């Protein structure tokens, strides 16, 4: 893999080259008191000298002491904003006498270049690729957007208070799924990026930008930064046998505890970079001449989500939270062969009441190891009280 040095001042050339090649360049910018993803035409629009402080239920922007361009972690937005739009018209129809006619739209697919994609988000994109592109049912919109997406990854020089990518084995260094990957290095007056090329297209584009070969010292500096980041992780999660942990604990007093705190507001699923559930709405006009079908981002925390005739299957908060976390960390593995969690920490930061996925896993695991005996008694009690629900565990297991 070719490793080169890109001077900070030359980053603008990269953006210009991408734009010249017809890419819509998207990257981190300052907006609404957070670092959000939007159009990025100039490096001046990057949150230069800003960082974020994150913890359960809080996010604050802070000034840095330097002029770092990527000195922060992930914000409220994820790249699914572009690959899996929150609202998308699938098709529209026009009345044609007693029949109808599908109105075809020649919607030019945009070519996106994502700048500043973190390793956890690359993993999240690859998780969604599995869902929408590699399975039995291929999502046309996602595939058409995704196949032309150019990814400029940025290795994290800082870990956030809610990050746990090291536990999930998804960071902080991008190892795949990028066209170019950069590590930002600031040493006194020297401000440069160590750039790795991941694809032939990445190399081709990078050749158009002035750069020089990296020496060992510079490579070591980058490794050093990444090692420090890995040590700074704000959260951690023990993922050993995590699938069985959840299957074993389908009934657990902790679920009632979470239900007391959970608002079922769906913030966690909306900010999650891997959550992919959508709903479909049909709309008509007053004249009954046009109808449209829209796909909207949905959440398993709503009643409508599990509504079948007669009512919602998951009416209680307990069952909804349990469903979400069990899918994310256990059934996802059966379904798609990977974990549904990439350790970005967004669900912890953006939960208004700071429900922490790592804490919940820890609490359940802890209850098994420390008070294993006691737990069995509690479990038996629950079964005695609620009628045997333990059989339901098999319901969660997918073939």
Binding site for other proteins (CB under 8 A): 31-34, 36, 57-61, 75-77, 81, 86-87, 260-267, 270-271, 281-288, 291, 296-297, 299, 301-304, 315, 317, 349-350, 352-353
Long-range residue pairs from 92-100, CB within 8 A, at least 24 positions apart, any chain: 92/290, 92/291, 92/292, 92/293, 93/290, 93/291, 93/292, 94/289, 94/290, 95/288, 95/289, 95/290, 100/291
Minimum CB distance to other proteins, residue 80 (Å): 11
Nearer to other proteins, 280 or 371 (CB): 280
Minimum CB distance to other proteins, residue 362 (Å): 20
Sign of CA dihedral 167, 170, 171, 175: positive
Do 234 and 348 form a contact (C-beta atoms < 8 A)? Answer: no
Nearer to other proteins, 281 or 380 (CB): 281
Minimum CB distance to other proteins, residue 257 (Å): 12
Distance CA 357, CA 273 (A): 15
Minimum CB distance to other proteins, residue 86 (Å): 4
Nearer to other proteins, 283 or 371 (CB): 283
Nearer to other proteins, 291 or 363 (CB): 291
Nearer to other proteins, 60 or 147 (CB): 60
Minimum CB distance to other proteins, residue 39 (Å): 13
Nearer to other proteins, 319 or 335 (CB): 319
Nearer to other proteins, 284 or 376 (CB): 284
Minimum CB distance to other proteins, residue 1 (Å): 35
3-class DSSP state for residue 388? coil
- Return the DSSP state at 128: H
Nearer to other proteins, 90 or 377 (CB): 90
Distance CA 341, CA 330 (A): 10
Instruction: Spell 208-219 as b/e; 16+ CB within 10 A means b.
Output: ebebeebeeebe
Burial-class residue 52 by CB neighbours within 10 Å (0-12, 13-18, 19+): buried
Minimum CB distance to other proteins, residue 19 (Å): 22
Strands (E), 129-198: 150-155, 180-187, 190-197
Q: Among candidates 71, 132, 122, which has minimal Cα distance to 278? A: 132
Do 341 and 331 form a contact (C-beta atoms < 8 A)? Answer: no
Q: Among candidates 93, 36, 395, 74, which has minimal Cα distance to 234? A: 74
Distance CA 114, CA 261 (A): 36
Minimum CB distance to other proteins, residue 163 (Å): 16
Distance CA 80, CA 106 (A): 23
Nearer to other proteins, 173 or 318 (CB): 318
Minimum CB distance to other proteins, residue 310 (Å): 16
């Amino acid at each position: 893999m070719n490793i080169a040095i890109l001077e900070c001042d030359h980053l603008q050339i990269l953006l210009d080259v991408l734009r010249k090649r017809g890419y819509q360049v998207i990257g981190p910018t300052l907006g609404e008191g957070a670092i959000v993803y939007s159009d990025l035409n100039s490096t001046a629009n990057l949150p230069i000298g800003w960082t974020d402080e994150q913890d359960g239920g809080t996010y604050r922007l802070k000034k840095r002491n330097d002029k770092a361009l990527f000195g922060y972690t992930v914000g409220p937005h994820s790249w699914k904003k572009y690959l899996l739009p929150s609202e998308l018209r699938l098709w529209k129809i026009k009345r044609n006498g007693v029949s109808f006619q599908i109105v075809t739209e020649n919607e030019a697919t945009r070519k996106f270049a994502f700048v500043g994609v973190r390793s956890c988000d690359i993993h999240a994109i690859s998780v969604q690729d599995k869902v929408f592109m590699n399975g039995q049912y291929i999502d046309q919109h996602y595939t058409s957007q995704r196949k032309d997406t150019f990814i400029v990854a940025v290795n994290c020089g800082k870990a956030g208070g809610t990050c746990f990518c090291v536990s999930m084995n998804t960071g902080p260094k991008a190892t795949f799924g990028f066209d170019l990957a950069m590590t930002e290095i600031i040493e006194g007056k020297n401000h440069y990026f160590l750039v790795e090329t991941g694809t032939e297209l990445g190399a081709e584009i990078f050749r158009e930008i002035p750069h020089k070969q990296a020496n060992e010292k510079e490579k070591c500096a980058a490794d050093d930064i990444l090692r420090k980041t890995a040590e700074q992780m704000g959260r951690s999660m023990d993922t050993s046998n995590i699938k069985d942990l959840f299957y074993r604990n389908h009934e657990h007093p902790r679920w009632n505890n979470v239900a007391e705190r959970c608002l079922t507001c769906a913030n966690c699923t909306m900010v999650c970079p891997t959550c992919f559930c959508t709903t479909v709405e049909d709309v008509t006009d007053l004249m009954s001449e046009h109808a449209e079908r829209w796909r909207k981002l949905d959440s398993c925390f709503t009643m409508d989500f599990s509504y079948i005739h007669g009512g919602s299957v998951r009416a209680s908060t307990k069952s909804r939270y349990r469903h979400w976390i069990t899918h994310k960390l256990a059934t996802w593995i059966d379904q798609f062969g990977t974990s549904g969690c990439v350790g970005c920490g967004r669900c912890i930061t953006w939960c208004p009441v700071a429900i922490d996925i790592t804490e919940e896993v820890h609490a359940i695991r802890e209850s098994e190891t420390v008070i294993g005996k006691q737990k069995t008694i509690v479990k038996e009690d629950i079964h005695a009280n609620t009628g045997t629900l333990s059989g339901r565990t098999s319901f969660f297991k997918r073939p």
